[in-house]
Structure 1
């Protein structure tokens, strides 16, 4: 799709902002219960490990913009809770690899399923014709916006 230099109506921008708030509401609700036991920074770690697989401690801290010693203490709490596991890197005995446990995977999967259920419920309220219009609009919008990077999504735990 070619970029356009045509002016954009303020009503269109307002409609997109309103839709983005509605979507953020779904996202916030999807992990609200989880935040009673897991902090948002901890959830970000779980999402990162779920997305990228086992990671070195230093790499995780760097990707999250965290101080290594502070991050290590947070990992201690996550290990104690049973969400992640520390393992020695078989390729380098000096390196520690952080892996997601079944409990950690379950937390991420629960949040994802709640989010999917909420979006499914919202779409179910639309007629098939309106749903097709929404899906077509999202395809066009996604094409114009491009896929966000993992780094862009991490602050939101996505």
Structure 2
């Protein structure tokens, strides 16, 4: 039987190490922290998005997300516009500079992930891992207990 606590530890330690390696390389080569890269990827995939949608996707607070968007906006990588459907929120979209930064950084991320993951695991194992992690993530995202705001209400 698999030791789930050991599995959890391995997942967390792997994520931390991969995050640090990717973050350092992106900063050094593109002056783009990994967190900002992830925001740009989400915005690119969704066209225009609300800060709330980014916060939910990244599993962080709206306040932290708003500050991150402020930094991206200051760097000229995104722009905010009024949300015509909801005056309480704004919409965030990539600027041409944001698109350029993301396009330049993607091959760096892919190369680093290939070094640390893709070149280690056989294709079949990698495919199964991707499927399994996606299932686990979907489960976690559908459970309100994984939203830390809900955890402390009990």
Report the TM-score when normalising by structure 2: 0.56
Which residue number corresponds to residue 138 of structure 1? 122
- Rounded to whole Å, the distance in 2 between the matches of 1:68 and 1:26 is 26
Residue 102 of structure 1: how far off its partner (Å): 1.5
Which residue number corresponds to residue 45 of structure 2? 51
In the alignment, structure 1 segments of 5+ residues that lack a partner are 6-19, 123-133, 153-158
Q: Which stretches of structure 1, 4 residues or more, deviate above 4 A after TM superposition?
A: 24-30, 115-120
Q: In 2 relative to 1, CA 65–94 (structure 1 residues): closer, same or farther, beyond 3 Å?
A: same
- Rounded to whole Å, the distance in 2 between the matches of 1:119 and 1:66 is 24
Would you say how many aligned residue pairs link Structure 1 and Structure 2? 120
* Greater RCO, CA 8 A, separation 6+: 1
**Which one has the largest radius of gyration?**
1
* Pairing 1:76–2:70 present: yes
Q: In 2 relative to 1, CA 103–140 (structure 1 residues): closer, same or farther, beyond 3 Å?
A: same
CA contact (8 A) 1:26 1:115 kept: no
Residue 30 of structure 1: how far off its partner (Å): 5.3
Report the TM-score when normalising by structure 1: 0.54
